[in-house]
Structure 1
């Protein structure tokens, strides 16, 4: 029977604490551990301070059997993780010949930097003699594995692509081989158009009826709420079988707002619908500046259903490329129902697609008026012979207004496609 293994993630670096670098490593590590049945209990960020790192190691090892550490393994003076770990685990730094050969290979054959290899780079080959070295194919700082008091400590570079490579190629296989793990199963429903509190109100009795070992989590986003059911058990197939009827009931309860029964963003959902129908879409963006196009094309395979975009930020571009009438702009303005309808029609004509999505608005902080305050956004979706529009009155800062406008535009496109067969 599998056990519930708790993990802690410790990220090291002053840059994380002052917000200069965003910690994406913890999210990736948490996802990878969760896939194999390890539950991340805590995430801790500490600066480049010796005592703070030691205290974090002590504290996390009291609650977790697995501690993943990232950062502080570089060649500069502020990278103190390696000598600290040597002292913490009662060892000393020694040169690992395999790591040294790899460092020389990188600098001489891959990087090909002029001049001799710096001493600080060669010191990357020094590792605590009490560590199991994890080969880092992607960089010069090796991963290191330690054991102490029945806990496993794994130190990884903070560079994201190096950390990801080590997690997937070294860490996860090791944990699968050396730990007996429980299955953790998630099922996620994605809703749009209703707030977290209103969704929760619809699910009061449903949530109360769940067995104690099945948990419901609410994950709000830009105009959306993800609903995640989680269960654990020794047999993944049995856990999934038990969870399925509860998940089906959950989807039924929120069917009015349900976008997908998968944990996937709107651009993926739209791509699947268009691909199934062998249809195409184009976008005409003003206030979002191409962000909608960016999201759609960030999905692999989007070229099958996405033709392109006109980012018509200036009125002259709206007129010249999308054929918006000068009189429309003069009479109604760039942010109007009339203008976005003509933008969508122009995109349909020029890009020759089945659907076109157009958007124009005032993102702020300036540019608003009494008639059209900051946050006013018009969206149009057009198909052959049909068009719908929607007005938003947003109230946030510029960045959030763009995110909210984009999410609402994509959802309007989704609904239009589904209702226009």
Structure 2
């Protein structure tokens, strides 16, 4: 079954807002076997919205549209859709009452402009918004060859996601027929895409029109997405399981998780299971590792804290790196990385100390220590160790890769 995602808003076209909605929606649809055929961004113009709604519903069974449901004059998505379907707008008293209750709970009167959000195109179902004001508007009908669905959703990401989970995806799953498509994503770190492909030599012989493998590299590693088409769910799961086992046998510990796992969540889970605590000393990553760790709910149970020891003074004054070490070996060295890890472990009374020091660019490199040089140190009750990694030339990407590597 084919779907198209339509995003409405001038702010997206001029770069004021990044469209993260379409990527997230595409991921949800792909997970249940829907083929996302196209993603389109259009301006806040009725003629443009009408044209792309019309063309999209000719090409796909599912059209999901986000944005343009607010109370201001440029929020015209439902007006454009109503015009395209040749229906009027009905002002719903039940929606007005919910809006009054929402505003009243905050000690405010309902603004006149908010009444527009109670207008619903005839023939559309209005799904109440528990996280905002604009309801989702959904229409289903029987097409010439297959059932159709059009969903108009707010552009606010957390509202859109709630509607997708509670109202849109259950309807789409009911529409799916004629076999199943299942996907599973395996997450790896520590190998670049070319190295991964070398280790998985011969995988093409295991693939077919019903079983495919896609490599999806990012700054923290490579995601491997397995897709199986089968007559039954059990058969699809069997095909995925067999290929996953074959992959894991060949890359072993480079696999750190699956699905929506992240490096930081997996590290947190391992620390919790083993009853260990962690402290970090960051130079070149500037606090990014600590930020990632604390993105995980409950991280206070295992994360003691961090020190951004960016300057040499911070290294010797705060985490007790020897001045002699810095003068003899430099801030970017295995010796300094190990002393940073040992120092922050002692300072914050943690089981494990982790440290990063490097040259992220664009300047600051030398023949001996070029841009992209990274040293990582680790310390625990058994001693200290360090590891060297060579990154690229782009500063922001280097910082992200350094945090992931550590």
**TM-score w.r.t. structure 2 length?**
0.90
> Over residues 262-320 of structure 1, what are the superposed CA-to-partner deviations in whole Å (9 max), with x where a residue is unaligned?
65222223223323322222111112111111112222333333222112223332222
For residue 356 of structure 1, give the secondary structure of its aligned residue in structure 2.
strand
The residue that corresponds to 1:184 in the other structure is 181
- List runs of 5+ in structure 1 lacking aligned partners: 410-421
The residue that corresponds to 2:114 in the other structure is 121
**Match 2:127 to one of 134, 158, 162:** 134
CA distance 1:131–1:223, shift in 2 (3 Å): closer
2:383 is the counterpart of 1:386: yes
> Over residues 350-395 of structure 1, what are the superposed CA-to-partner deviations in whole Å (9 max), with x where a residue is unaligned?
2222221101122233444555443232211112232221223332
- How much has 1:408 moved relative to structure 2? 1.3
2:93 is the counterpart of 1:97: yes
The residue that corresponds to 2:46 in the other structure is 50
- How much has 1:78 moved relative to structure 2? 1.9
The residue that corresponds to 2:65 in the other structure is 69
- How much has 1:153 moved relative to structure 2? 0.6
CA distance 1:371–1:179, shift in 2 (3 Å): closer
2:246 is the counterpart of 1:249: yes
Say whether the 8 Å CA contact 1:146–1:154 is kept in structure 2: yes
- How much has 1:248 moved relative to structure 2? 0.6
> What is the Cα-based RMSD across aligned positions, in Å?
2.4
- How much has 1:210 moved relative to structure 2? 1.8
Say whether the 8 Å CA contact 1:214–1:229 is kept in structure 2: yes
Say whether the 8 Å CA contact 1:68–1:156 is kept in structure 2: yes
Say whether the 8 Å CA contact 1:76–1:120 is kept in structure 2: yes
Say whether the 8 Å CA contact 1:90–1:130 is kept in structure 2: no
The residue that corresponds to 1:78 in the other structure is 74
> Over residues 113-149 of structure 1, what are the superposed CA-to-partner deviations in whole Å (9 max), with x where a residue is unaligned?
4xx5432222221221232211112222111112464
The residue that corresponds to 1:323 in the other structure is 320
CA distance 1:98–1:180, shift in 2 (3 Å): farther
The residue that corresponds to 2:216 in the other structure is 219
CA distance 1:46–1:298, shift in 2 (3 Å): same
CA distance 1:25–1:314, shift in 2 (3 Å): same
For residue 313 of structure 2, give the secondary structure of its aligned residue in structure 1.
helix
**Match 1:29 to one of 15, 25, 49:** 25
2:173 is the counterpart of 1:166: no
- How much has 1:179 moved relative to structure 2? 5.2
- How much has 1:225 moved relative to structure 2? 1.6
Say whether the 8 Å CA contact 2:316–2:322 is kept in structure 1: yes
The residue that corresponds to 1:304 in the other structure is 301
CA distance 1:279–1:368, shift in 2 (3 Å): same
**Match 1:363 to one of 351, 360, 365:** 360
- How much has 1:28 moved relative to structure 2? 2.7
CA distance 1:261–1:33, shift in 2 (3 Å): closer
Which deviates more, 395-404 or 57-66? 57-66
Say whether the 8 Å CA contact 1:13–1:48 is kept in structure 2: yes
| In structure 1, C-alpha distance between the alignment counterparts of 2:274 and 2:390, rounded to whole Å | 33
2:222 is the counterpart of 1:229: no
The residue that corresponds to 1:196 in the other structure is 193
**Match 1:10 to one of 6, 14, 19:** 6
CA distance 1:171–1:257, shift in 2 (3 Å): closer
| In structure 1, C-alpha distance between the alignment counterparts of 2:178 and 2:296, rounded to whole Å | 33
- How much has 1:213 moved relative to structure 2? 0.5
Paired residues in the alignment total 402
